[in-house]
Amino acid sequence: MKITTIPNVYRNVNRWGEILTILSKYGLAGWVSRFDVPLVKGFLKNRDGEKLAHLSRETRIRMAIEELGPTFIKLGQILSTRPDQVGMPLAHELQKLQTQVGCDDAKVVRATIEAEFEQPLETLFGDFDTTPLASASIGQVHRARLHSGEDVVVKVQHAGIRRRMEVDLDILAGLAQLAEKLPELQSYRPQATVAEFRRIVRRELDFAREARNLQQFERNFSRSQFVRIPKFYPELSTGRVLTMESLDGVRLCDPAVREIPNIDVRAVTRHGAEMYLEMIFHHGFYHGDPHPGNIVVLPNGTIGLLDFGMVARLDEQLREEIEDLLISIVSQDSQQLTSLVMRLGSVPPGLDELALNVDLAEFVNHYANQPVEAFDLAGALTEMIEIVQRYRISLVPSLSMLIKVLVMLEGTARMLEPNFSLMELIQPYQKKMLRRRLSPARQFRKARRIYTEVEKLAEILPRRLRDILQQVESGKFDVHLDHRGLEPSVNRLVLGMLTSSLFLGSSLLISRDSWAFRGVSVPGTMGVMLSAFLGWRLLRAINKSGHLDQRK
């Protein structure tokens, strides 16, 4: 940890202590569980009285996050979209995070709204229900009615949540610095993950950004007869208060959805899946949390979307590579799949590309033989993520979130229609993908982009060549070579030379009876024994890993 972070630690010492206490409690349960002492095993419990030592590591992590509060719950939700880093078991467990947190009381909510608009609550709304519908990590939702008679929902940010999250973010940054020093945690890229999380949290704390997302979805589906996006009220919204239309429907997580009269559940399921595919493959801007609680079925059979805080964008190039990824799985092209995985991710040094290709070939051979109507896309994507995580490849965040969305989407659809196949709906998009790629408009955009890059290169290249030639003429041109992994070999070579020299010198002392005691050279004998020990150590290191001081 840097010296500059010490004042932050001092200012937030109470929160540091609370966090470290909770982490230690849940971490100790795994250590205690290795000892068959029932009394000790039953001692550690969570805040609900549940014993910890008998729980899996993933469950204990999820429970610790819930106990740590809103910031860590939000972090867990973000990590659930990164199975390539944390693994599928933990990602699935983090999707169970309970986001229901304590509510602000009515006086605090009133004060927040009136401070934002500088008007009394009664002036803004004809009726306002002070009992919240729900309370999440950042805000809580209330029902209200406008003076014009329209029913709305009002999302109000928790009082002081920004300050509390900033404190936790500083602490997380400090923990990430410490985690980077542990070899077993370096592969999770703690500092990069926390930096990405900080950006996401700061965006979600600004309700104005969520309002812009809502308006973008409203424009994208303005002509759709199957999708309903709630109306946004800008005059009753700020960075901490968001007012939108109330959609009177049944959430997909409610069993009553099957009891809605004159509703074809199969058609609703299909339209919902097509809505998401339209977002991903046509708009390149999609809802990042297709949880059943965020999707409602309205009485006329249309589908309504809720909660626009977590969204993702795909640029044209990334969207095409993701399309190729799905096509290569179906067409059994393991070499293309390997190339795409390596291009879409951060590849660790020393990657065994041949072994990765073999594993992906077995993967596509297994899933390519499945008929399209019975294709298990969620299972295929889950297994591919497990392969990627095994080889320590970190995918770009956009792809990780997309995979999570597709897995959740198929799972949500199968809640209503057990025989639903998402791949069956994706297949027709292949023709649309091909038409879009061959369209004159796209070819023109591509040609213009290439022309711009070539123009910049033509402008920069002569100047760069002139600088290099000037350095060569003045004798200042240096070539730096980085010999990676050479140090262990050099150390091994030096130790071998020292061992052999020590052995030869000690043999000479023994042969000449130098410093002899009872006819045996003491320094010679000690030198031979030491050289034997060093030789044994050298052989052992070579036999184990090929390195002198470290193992692979």
Which range is least confidently modeled, 6-15, 76-85, 283-292, 537-546? 6-15
Taking CA atoms, 4 is separated from 9, 15, 170, 174, in Å, by 10, 18, 12, 11
Digit-coded pLDDT (tens) for 89-126: 888 788 777 555 678 889 999 999 999 999 999 999 99
The whole-chain average pLDDT of the chain stands at 79
% of the chain residues with pLDDT over 70? 84
Evaluated on CA atoms 50, 53, 54, 56, the torsion sign reads: positive
| Strand, helix or coil for residue 45 | strand
Task: Decide if 373 contacts 421 (C-beta within 8 A).
Answer: yes
Distances in Å between the Cα of 293 and the Cα atoms of 65, 89, 134, 411, 416 are 21, 22, 11, 13, 13
Segment 67-72 mean pLDDT: 82
Q: What is the CA radius of gyration of the chain?
A: 31
Across 463-485, average pLDDT? 76
Kindly report, residue by residue over 320-331, the tens digit of the pLDDT: 887 788 777 767
Contact 240, 116 (CB under 8 A): yes
- pLDDT the model gives residue 109: 93
What spatial distance separates the first Cα and last Cα of the chain, rounded to whole Å? 27
Q: What is the pLDDT of residue 281?
A: 82
Q: What is the pLDDT of residue 53?
A: 57
φ and ψ of 520, to 5 deg? -120, 130
- Taking a C-beta distance cutoff of 8 angstroms, is the pair 213, 311 a contact? yes
pLDDT at 40: 42
Query: What is the per-residue pLDDT across 118-143, written as a single tens digit (0 to 9) for each?
Result: 999 999 999 999 899 888 888 899 99
> What pLDDT, on a 0 to 100 scale, did the predictor assign at position 141?
92
What does the alpha-carbon distance between residue 155 and residue 140 come to, in Å, rounded to a whole number? 6
What letter does residue 236 receive in the DSSP assignment? G
Taking the model in full, what pTM does it have?
0.68
Check if the beta carbon of residue 303 is closer than 8 Å to that of residue 272.
yes
Confidence band for 441, pLDDT divided at 50, 70 and 90: confident
Tell the burial category of 192 from Cβ atoms under 10 Å away from its Cβ (0-12, 13-18, 19+): middle
Question: pLDDT tens-digit profile of 279-331?
Answer: 988 888 988 877 777 889 988 889 999 888 888 888 878 888 877 887 777 67
Top pLDDT among 16 and 244 is at 244
CA–CA–CA angle 464, 465, 468 (5° rounding) = 90
Q: At residue 36, does pLDDT exceed 50?
A: no
pLDDT at 267 over 90: no
259-271 mean pLDDT:
84
For 162, 296, 543, the CA distances from 276, given in Å and listed in that order, are: 32, 14, 54
Give the 3-state secondary structure of residue 394: strand
C-alpha torsion sign, points 462, 464, 470, 472: negative
The CA distance from 510 to 523, in Å, is 8
Higher-confidence position of 34 and 405: 405
The angle, 0 to 180 degrees and rounded to 10, between the axes of the packed helices 190-204 and 161-179 is 170
Position 86 pLDDT exceeds 70: yes
What's the CA gap between 245 and 230, in Å, rounded?
5
Non-local CB neighbours of 456 within 8 Å, separated by 6+ positions: none
pLDDT at 118: 92
Nearest to 294 by CA among 363, 344, 229: 229
User: In this predicted structure, which of 39-53, 131-145, 150-164, 431-445 has the lowest mean pLDDT?
Assistant: 39-53
The torsion angles phi and psi of 345, rounded to 5 degrees, stand at -135, 170
CA distance 57 to 434: 45
Calculate mean pLDDT across residues 227-243.
Answer: 93
Helix (H), strand (E) at residue 313: strand 311-313
User: CA-to-CA distance for 295 and 311, rounded, in angstroms?
Assistant: 15
513-518-524-529 Cα dihedral, nearest 10 degrees: 150
- Provide the b/e sequence for 46-84 (b: ≥16 CB within 10 Å): beeeeebbebeebbbbbbbbbbbbbbbbbbbbbbbbbbb
pLDDT value at residue 231: 93
- 164-178, 188-202, 238-252, 349-363: range with highest mean pLDDT: 238-252
Give residue 299's pLDDT.
Answer: 86
Confidence band, pLDDT 50/70/90 cuts, at residue 213: very high
Instruction: Give me 99's structure tokens.
Output: 């986001």
- Of 42 and 363, the structure prediction assigns the larger pLDDT to 363
Segment 473-500 shows an average pLDDT of: 74
Which helix (H) or strand (E) segment holds residue 111: the answer is: helix 106-117
Q: What is the rounded CA–CA span in Å between residue 51 and residue 28?
A: 12
Q: Residue 392 in 3-state DSSP?
A: coil
Dihedral sign for Cα atoms in the order 164, 401, 77, 191? negative
The answer to whether residue 28 scores a pLDDT higher than 80 is no
Contact present, 58 and 88 (Cβ < 8 Å): no
Of 31-45, 352-366, 423-437, least confident by mean pLDDT is 31-45
How many Å separate Cα 289 from the centre of its chain?
A: 13
B/e letters for 423-433, b = 16+ CB within 10 Å, e = fewer, are: bbbbbebeeeb
Query: Is 197 within 8 Å of 171 (Cβ atoms)?
Result: no
